[in-house]
């Protein structure tokens, strides 16, 4: 699809690019070392309208389209992938799910502070024994008067430690498989919600990833998102949007690694000339640029389909699959171009390489994206 950005989309992209390079980039390397959560930068992003970009202004959002959102997210990821994943989860799986499935009361109490960036959100679907297969989850929610009582453990929860609001899925009816899963809006300070230890990770080190443990956690019955049994559908449709966001994160990191490699190649001299003069490297650079452009087109195409109200599940998976695998190739090549220096912490190439690794895993592995895409083409559903 040929794509021409509107003046407004270009303006948003330019604004976020400037902010990202001036405010987010200078401390990204340090954050990767110290694992300090970027709370202050996220607060500033909230003030700029970046934490609820696609939510209408009446709920404190920026009222932007998905194309503007993915361009903005990509610019944040260019500077700091840890910051970008927080923005991504907040905008798509959290804010959009509440906007789409929440009651007026949910929008007032939960969405407004989230979209303004005053609160942060987390999405708790994955469990120790239920990753690619969330229907196999074992967290339970039992109705007791005006409360649901939640028991279970959620794993690898992005922003789980720093979030104020968590969307949690749990089984309300064991017998009904995916139709027996419900989603709940849970405030962080609810008694019975315990935050586990921080994961020690290869990349995205400044974004917190924790277990969330629910022990007789009493959640007001009115905090159910949608109806009983809607939880799997809410999670899946949230992940559709989320997966375009992972494509955006991938493209941001790939562009950062590409620019670093090109700059290095133009300065580094060997055999009496800059290494950018060698055809072997020139072809690497040509292939990298082509792959990034292809991923960008897939991302924009999926985002535009969403904006037009078309079903975009397969396109979101294609964008996520291609972009996340692309960025792993690009960051490996960028590190290679840096030679021995690429292997050191003096240059950012090794951080890009580590940060990129999770993109083919979270919000559905590459293998799961291929299940979604092939099911869509063959129209015979269920796992192969």
The residues that are catalytic are: 363
Q: Does 24 bind ligand CAA (CB under 6 A)?
A: no
Residue 233 found at the interface with ligand CAA (CB under 6 A): yes
**Tokens 């009222």, located at residue:** 63
User: Is residue 160 a contact residue for ligand CAA (CB under 6 A)?
Assistant: no
Interface of this chain with ligand CAA, residues 305 to 334, rule: CB under 6 A: 313
- Applying CB under 6 A, among 236, 262, 285, 289 the residue interacting with ligand CAA is 236
Instruction: Compare residues 96 and 291 and give the one whose CB is closer to ligand CAA.
Output: 96
CB-based contact 237:361 (threshold 8 Å)? no
Q: Does residue 240 interact with ligand CAA by CB under 6 A?
A: yes
Q: Is 282 in the site for ligand CAA (CB under 6 A)?
A: no
Q: Of 273 and 381, which has the nearer Cβ to ligand CAA? A: 381
CB of 228 to ligand CAA, least distance (A): 14
Spacing of C-alpha 116 from chain mean position: 18
Quick check: 364 binds ligand CAA (CB under 6 A)? yes
Phi, psi of 151 (to 5 degrees): -140, 130
User: Which of 83, 126, 169, 250 touches ligand CAA by CB under 6 A?
Assistant: 126
Which of 19, 110, 148, 232 lies at the binding interface for ligand CAA (CB under 6 A)? Answer: 232
Angle at which helix 231-267 crosses helix 349-356, to 10 degrees, equals 160
Range list of β-strands (E), 65-127: 121-124
Q: Which residue is nearest to ligand CAA (CB)?
A: 364
Q: Which of 6, 14, 100, 132 binds ligand CAA (CB under 6 A)?
A: 132
Kindly tell me which of 170 and 349 has the beta carbon lying closer to ligand CAA: 170
Neighbours of 263 (CB within 10 A): 11
Strands (E), 117-206: 121-124, 140-144, 147-158, 165-171, 181-187, 193-198
Q: What does the H/E/C string look like for 316-337?
A: HHHHHHHHHHHHHHHHHHHHHH
Binding residue (CB under 6 A) for ligand CAA from 103, 237, 274, 374: 237
Among 9, 217, 363, 373, binds ligand CAA (CB under 6 A): 363
- Furthest C-alpha separation in the chain: 79
Tokens 């592995």 -> residue:
365
Q: Is 181 in the site for ligand CAA (CB under 6 A)?
A: no
Q: Say which DSSP state 272 is in.
A: T
**Phi, psi for residue 324 in degrees, rounded to 5:** -70, -35
Orientation angle between helical segments 349-356 and 313-337, nearest 10 degrees:
150
Selection from 380, 54, 107 nearest residue 245 by Cα: 54
CA atoms within 13 A on the CB side of 20: 25
In whole angstroms, what is the distance from residue 46 CA to residue 69 CA?
13
Site string for ligand CAA, 62-101 (x = CB under 6 A): ---------------------------x------------
Read out DSSP for 101-113?
Answer: H--HHHIIIIIHH
User: Segment near ligand CAA (CB under 6 A), from 51-59, 125-133, 144-152, 343-351?
Assistant: 125-133
Side-chain half-sphere CA neighbours of 62 within 13 A: 21
Q: Which of 113, 117, 134, 203 touches ligand CAA by CB under 6 A?
A: 134
Stretch that binds ligand CAA, among 9-17, 31-39, 70-78, 235-243 (CB under 6 A): 235-243
Shortest distance (Å) from residue 55 CB to ligand CAA:
19
| 381 lies in the binding site for ligand CAA (CB under 6 A) | yes
List residues near ligand CAA by CB under 6 A.
89, 123, 125-126, 132-135, 158, 178, 232-233, 236-237, 239-240, 313, 362-364, 368, 371-372, 381-383
């Amino acid at each position: 699809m040929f794509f021409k950005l509107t003046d407004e989309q270009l303006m948003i992209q330019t604004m976020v690019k400037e902010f990202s390079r001036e405010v987010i980039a200078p401390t990204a390397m340090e954050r990767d070392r110290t694992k300090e959560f970027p709370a202050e930068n996220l607060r500033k992003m909230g003030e700029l309208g970046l934490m609820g970009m696609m939510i209408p202004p009446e709920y404190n959002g920026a009222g932007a389209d998905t194309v503007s959102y993915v361009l903005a997210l990509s610019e944040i990821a260019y500077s700091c992938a840890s910051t970008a994943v927080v923005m991504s989860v907040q905008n798509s799986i959290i804010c959009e799910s509440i906007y789409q499935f929440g009651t007026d009361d949910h929008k007032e109490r939960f969405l407004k502070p989230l979209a303004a960036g005053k609160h942060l959100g987390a999405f708790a679907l994955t469990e120790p024994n239920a990753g690619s297969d969330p229907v196999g989850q074992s967290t339970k929610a039992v109705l007791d008067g005006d409360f649901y009582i939640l028991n279970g453990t959620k794993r690898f929860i992005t922003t789980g430690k720093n979030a104020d609001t968590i969307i949690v899925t749990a089984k309300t009816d064991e017998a009904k498989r995916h139709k027996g899963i419900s989603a709940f809006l849970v405030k962080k300070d609810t008694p019975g919600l315990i935050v586990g230890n921080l994961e020690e990770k290869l990349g995205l080190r400044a974004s917190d990833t924790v277990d969330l443990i629910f022990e007789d956690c009493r959640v007001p019955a009115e905090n159910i998102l949608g109806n009983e049994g809607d939880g799997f559908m809410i999670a899946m449709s949230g992940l559709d949007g989320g997966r375009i966001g992972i494509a955006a994160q991938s493209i941001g990191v790939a562009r950062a690694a590409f620019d670093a490699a090109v700059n290095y190649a133009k300065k580094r001299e060997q055999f009496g000339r800059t290494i950018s003069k060698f055809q072997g490297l020139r072809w690497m650079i040509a292939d990298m640029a082509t792959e990034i452009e292809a991923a960008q087109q897939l991302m924009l195409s999926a985002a535009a389909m969403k904006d037009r109200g078309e079903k975009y599940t397969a396109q979101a998976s294609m964008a996520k699959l291609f972009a996340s695998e692309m960025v792993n190739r690009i960051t490996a090549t960028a590190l290679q171009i840096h030679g021995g220096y690429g292997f050191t912490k003096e240059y950012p190439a090794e951080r890009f390489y580590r940060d990129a690794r999770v993109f083919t895993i979270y919000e559905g592995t590459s293998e799961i994206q291929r299940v979604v895409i092939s099911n869509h083409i063959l129209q015979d559903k269920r796992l192969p």
